[in-house]
Amino acid sequence: DGVGQGRGIKCSLCTKVLKKIQSLAGDNPDELAVAAALQKGCRMLGRVLGKVCQRLMNKYRDQIKEELQNGDTPRDICTAMGICRS
């Protein structure tokens, strides 16, 4: 179905972006490293996807920061944000 497929695309995009952000932030990221990585990660997606990414990152910034600092996987974080199904 279209909805499930759309969700699958969003889920894989979310995990891809968060993997990038995770590698940009480094192994033991502090808040500043994560914030900088969030901005850089979204910029790499181009204009249209970058805007969507930025909106999501602004909405979930604190949650993403916290979970990256806890060492959660990108998939776990996207599931917690309701983008991926568990």
What is the Cα–Cα distance from 2 to 38, expressed in whole angstroms?
Answer: 29
pLDDT of residue 48: 86
pLDDT of residue 50: 85
Q: What is the pTM of this model?
A: 0.76
- Tell me what the mean pLDDT of segment 47-56 comes to: 85
Q: Mean pLDDT of all residues in the chain? A: 84
- The yes-or-no verdict on residue 54 having pLDDT over 80 is yes
What is the Cα–Cα distance from 56 to 79, expressed in whole angstroms?
Answer: 13
For each of the domains in the chain, give its residue range(s) and CATH number, in order of start. 4-81 (1.10.225.10)
Max distance between CA atoms of the chain, in angstroms, equals: 40
pLDDT of residue 2: 47
Q: What is the pLDDT of residues 18-41, one digit of tens each?
A: 998 899 888 888 888 888 888 888
What is the Cα–Cα distance from 40 to 76, expressed in whole angstroms?
Answer: 21
